[in-house]
Amino acid sequence: MSHFIRLNDGNQLPWIAFGTGTEWYRKDVSKPIQMAIENGFTHLDTAQIYGNEESVGRGIRAAGKPRSHLYITTKFAELQPGQTAKTALRLSLRKLGVDYVDSYLVHSPKNHSGKLQQVWKDMEECKREGLARSIGVSNFGVDELDEVLAVAAIPPAVNQIQLHPYLWKSAQPVIQLHEEHDIVTSSYGGLSPLFRLPGGPVDAAVKQIRARLERTRGAPVSEGQVLIKWLKQNGVLVVTTTSKAERVREYLDTANVPDLTDEEMALIEAKGSERH
């Protein structure tokens, strides 16, 4: 299975990203970013609203990896008076200390009610000028995607949404729209059944599958790897994070874990549909 996902604009991106939201919100992430890069992550996911783009830039420089070997995603949320998606991106580029980002996303449609189509035309300018190699959205539902697609000369390459087994069923309408337009589904919160919603019906299925994978592999497999593998086999881009180097290596090692069977994939989906 490829370590890259192809985008509808001809670019490709690494299948897993190190995220800097949630636990890193408005914190200095320079050391976690450096640690993630030094342990093998090349895809870094940040956002203006996280308040840590400058420290992401410091971590990148401290790691010393060439810019061309990294894939950087950022997002903009609420625009200030007189600000556009392009001017917001220029500010992010200065904070990150780079000349371009690989992906630039509209963080949430709720910040641009009635203005989404104009915002998207501004996003297309960012791509045409080379400030962003690819453009996309985040937290968009079917209606918001349809609004953008109605005027898009360049369709969104990615839609990053909260996604895990307990949300899989409810996410099907937007995932089907993604498939129709070759939009990559990017996920955050993919490990929520283990860390935020433990004790649910997915737990037993994950334990059962983990045991089978360990027997097949002849080496340890974690429950987190089972869920990450489930997302990966569904063609989903995984955004996750950790403060531990060993967990970083574990997440990346998921690519080497044997595939789940069709029956195991369906079992996680079925158990996920029992709780929302």
Residue 28 to residues 44, 57, 59, 201: CA-CA distances in angstroms? 15, 11, 9, 37
Residue 1 has pLDDT above 70, yes or no: no
Strand-strand pairing, 132-138 and 101-106: parallel
CA–CA gap between residue 101 and residue 78 (Å, rounded): 19
Ramachandran angles phi, psi of 14, nearest 5°: -60, 145
Q: Which of 50, 71, 104, 251 is catalytic?
A: 50
Give the integer Cα–Cα distance in Å for 188 and 195. Answer: 13
Return the ∠ at Cα 98 (arms to 92 and 101), rounded to 5°. 70
Question: Has 107 been annotated as catalytic?
Answer: yes
Q: Are 90 and 120 in contact (CB under 8 A)?
A: no
Report the mean per-residue pLDDT for the chain. Answer: 96
Contact between residue 32 and residue 21 where contact means Cβ atoms under 8 Å apart: no
Q: Residue 275: is its pLDDT beyond 90?
A: no
This prediction's pTM: 0.95
**pLDDT tens per residue across span 110-137:** 989 899 999 999 999 999 999 999 999 9
d(CA 243, CA 247): 8
Encoded tokens for 115: 């203005």
Q: What is the DSSP string of 187-214?
A: EESTTHHHHTSTTSTHHHHHHHHHHHHH
The answer to whether the CB of 240 falls within 8 A of the CB of 16 is yes
Residue 34, classed as helix, strand or coil, is helix
- Over the stretch 168-218, which tens digit does the pLDDT of each residue have? 999 999 999 999 999 999 999 999 999 888 899 999 999 999 999 999 999
Pairing of strands 12-14, 4-6: antiparallel
Q: What is the pLDDT of residues 74-103, one digit of tens each?
A: 999 888 888 999 999 999 999 999 999 999
Torsion of CA 92, 95, 99, 105, to 10 degrees: -20
The catalytic position among 43, 71, 107, 188 is 107
Tell me what pLDDT residue 26 has: 87
